[in-house]
Amino acid sequence: MTDLGTSPDGVQFRFRDDEMVDHASVTVDAFLEQSNSSAVRIEPGDDARDLLPHLDRIALVEVNFPVYGDGRGYSAARVLREEGYTGEIRAVGDVLVDQLNNMRRCGFDAFQPDVAMNEADAQAALDTWPEVYQATTDGRNPIWNIRHGVGPNE
Amino acid sequence: MYQYDKYDQAMVDARVAEFRDQAQRRLEGKLSEDQFKPLRLMNGLYLQLHAYMLRVAIPYGTLNSAQMHVLADIADKYDRGYGHFTTRQNIQYNWIKLEDAGDILADLAKVEMHAIQTSGNCIRNISSDHFAGAAQDELVDPRPYAELLRQWSSFHPEFMYLPRKFKIAVIASDTDRAAMRLHDIGIQIVEKDGEIGASFYVGGGMGRTPMIAPNIREFVPLDQLITYSEACLRVYNRYGRRDNKYKARIKILVHELGAEEYTRQVEEEFAHLLEQGIEPPLAELERIKPYFADPAFEDGAKTVDRSDPDFALWVDRNTHRHKHDSYVSAVISLKPVGGIPGDATAEQMHLMADLAKEYSFDEMRVMHTQNVVLPHVKIADLHALWTKLDAADLGTPNLDQIGDIIACPGLDYCSLANARSIPLAQKISERFAEGGKQDKLGELKLKISGCINACGHHHAGHIGILGVDKKGVENYQLSLGGSEAEDTALGKITGRGFDEEGVLNAVDTVTDVYLAKKEDGERFLDTYNRIGMAPFKEALYD
């Protein structure tokens, strides 16, 4: 069973133990211009790489999904993880149970869906895949490595 | 051919269980149609004009007898006794009930098949050369590379919600039998300085804005194949247009950025991804390759007895040269005169499965031209094979002839279509078979799409026909000069469109022009390329 994690404040699932950021996030533009904020919100058209020079002072990146079918946020999250960002990445908006698994694989570790998910469905979704085909930064060793006794990201 | 190991099987089984649950929730009303739609699409289930349509993936078009028998059983048990082979080397069933979908997927999973990613804005079934592993002109068998890409693209966590659908083809010979440059990514396996690698063409496609893919990298080493593919996809996922569905394919991104700028961005992403260790070990490719090793070919007869002219004609038209001189690849035409292109009955599918087992090392291929190939048939067995095919109305000798029409399902089935494709294909096939004009025309590839989405590949037809809606009346535009082969070209529209009878006559007219003007050995396409559009236009409109 996957530990779903629970949290107040509209964040339905959170897979981390650290303190949540206690202030609202700012837009990428606002963050880059001024701001001592440690929380920033990425919209689908934003370039996550603009944040790279500042990763050490960010604790929360919210990635907004205005509609579930706009998949740019998956790349944004993965890019941030690949560049070494270890803070929270929270999926916000039109986030549905059927996307949970892929989002976890791309590096999201908190979920704030517009409409709360059924917890049993979420649990089932996260437990769907016994193994995975691709390597991401989530540490799971892909099938093509397991077959040949190779470790993750080797 | 490839066989699942426990990991591949577990992935498909997991998906079947997941979809069974989703379909159940829909049937119980816990999911609305809006909520269910993306889920069923990820599993190949479309809601069409009259019923659900299920599209089953046939990876790189290769299947064995047990799989074909199951496809036949599904046609019998859950559909109306037939299936439709598609231009994506897949099969579709047009009369499916939602409550059966879970059971169908479970039946498929038992023979290592599925309907995953046969629709939706994700990476679709990988297609390949239908003569792979048999053709004399190939560098290597392209299918191990296609299989590696299949694994990589299955359930890819980052690329399930791309701007639009994404199609990849892999070939390994200079002769292109897979319309490779009309794909989102076309890969040709090539050799450079004694090393095998992949040449990438990105941004081709048909649809309403047809484009021929430019080459963006001539050589990607095999130990970077997946990483480079990932870079191509990531740039597209991040920057492909999402404001307009009709401008969302990667061809528009490549066109608007320019191939050079797109390539620069891919190379930058590629350099970054190389640091991430996402490439499979080369040992995986080596594990896959033996599944596609040559069967045990035996020396035998190298010629046939041509005393039966019908048989001789079929051999001339429907067989393809094999790398072993005692074998050929034999094409089973699913285009009987007056028939529906690509349709096969359950009985015909069972027969093809049995014949593959008996004569072709238990293997078949679905062609993107909607026919079926027995890749490895002994020349000595050809007459016996043909006799059985002919008795089942599967021996039509029309490969690459005007009767070998590609047609989309059109307005008879499809909710997007503007015009009917199938009845027109049937009428053309009948008109040109009667009186023997087909025989005089030689190779002539005619393709029909019932709407601008171009599922019938009309842009790539030597003669292309596009159905449009003109003030509520079906109207057909004619185009000439397209090709999907290594000389890839897009057809040009002749002029104003025609009604159904008019377009039939127009095809007659342009083929008359060809017969009058052709020089020694020229195909229709060659004559068109030499004399240009003007003589055809004159005959049609003056």
Q: How crowded is residue B542: how many other Cβ atoms within 10 Å of its Cβ?
A: 5
Give the fold, CATH level 3, of B6-110: Sulfite Reductase Hemoprotein; domain 2 (3.90.480)
Unique residue bearing structure tokens 């590379």? B145
Q: Which of the four pLDDT bands, split at 50, 70 and 90, describes residue B155?
A: very high
Mean pLDDT of B483-493: 93
Q: Which range, of A55-69, A137-151, B285-299, B406-420, averages the lowest pLDDT?
A: B406-420
| Domains B6-110 and B309-391 belong to one CATH topology | no
Question: What is the Cα–Cα distance from B372 to B354, expressed in whole angstroms?
Answer: 13
> CA A113 from chain center: how many Å?
12
B247-300 pLDDT, tens digit each: 999 999 999 999 999 999 999 999 999 999 999 999 999 999 999 999 999 999
pLDDT, position A6: 46
Whole-model pTM: value is: 0.94
Sign of the alpha-carbon torsion through B70, B73, B78, B84: positive
Q: Using the beta-carbon criterion (under 8 Å), do A144 and B238 form an inter-chain contact?
A: no
Q: How many helices (H) and strands (E) does chain A have?
A: 5, 6
Q: Looking at the domain B134-290, which fold is it?
A: Sulfite Reductase Hemoprotein; domain 1 (3.30.413)
- Give the pLDDT confidence score for residue A8 in this predicted structure: 46
Cβ within 8 Å of B, A 135-154 = 135-137, 142-148, 150, 153-154
Nearest-Cα distance to chain A for B189, in Å, is 21
Spans of all domains in chain B: 6-110, 134-290, 309-391, 406-541
Domain B406-541 in CATH 3.40.50.2000: no
Provide mean pLDDT across the span B158-176.
97
The closest CB to that of A131, out of B10, B39, B287, belongs to B10
CATH dotted code for B309-391: 3.30.70.3340
Task: List, in order of start, the domains of chain A with CATH numbers.
Answer: 13-146 (3.40.50)
Is A133 an 8 Å CB contact of chain B? yes
Q: Please check the confidence at residue B42 and state whether its pLDDT lies above 90.
A: no
Whether the per-residue pLDDT at B1 is higher than 70: the answer is: yes
Q: What is the pLDDT of residue A149?
A: 94
What lies within 8 Å, CB to CB, of B354 at 6+ separation is: B65
Q: What average pLDDT does chain B have?
A: 95
- A4 pLDDT higher than 60: no
Q: How far apart are the first and last CA of chain B?
A: 55
Tell me how far apart the terminal alpha carbons of chain A are, to the nearest angstrom.
28
Give how far B437 is from chain A: nearest CA, Å. Answer: 50
Closest chain A residue to B17 measured between Cα atoms?
A: A128
Quick check: A5 pLDDT over 70?
no
The β-bridge relationship of strands B185-192 and B168-171 is parallel
Cα-Cα-Cα-Cα dihedral sign, residues B438, B444, B445, B446: negative
Give chain B positions within 8 Å (CB) of A133: 11, 151-152, 154-156
pLDDT at A154 over 70: no
Model confidence at A1, in pLDDT bands (50, 70, 90)? very low
A72 to chain B, any CB pair closer than 8 A? The answer is: yes
**ipTM attached to this prediction:** 0.94
- Is A22 a residue whose pLDDT tops 60? yes
Each residue's pLDDT tens digit, B89-131: 899 998 999 889 989 999 999 999 999 999 989 999 999 999 9
Residue A153 in this model has a pLDDT that exceeds 80: no
Closest residue, chain A, to B234 (C-alpha): A75
pLDDT-derived band at B530, boundaries 50, 70, 90: very high
The per-residue pLDDT for A7 is 46
The model's confidence at residue A11, banded by pLDDT at 50, 70 and 90, is very high
Exposure of B32 in the CB half-sphere (CA atoms within 13 A): 2
Average pLDDT over residues B125-150: 97
Q: Which of B154, B160, B237 sits opposite A102 (nearest CB)?
A: B160
- Model pLDDT, residue A34: 77
Q: Which of B5, B17, B80 is nearest to B50 (CA)?
A: B80
Q: What angle do CA B229, B126, B200 make, to 5 degrees?
A: 35
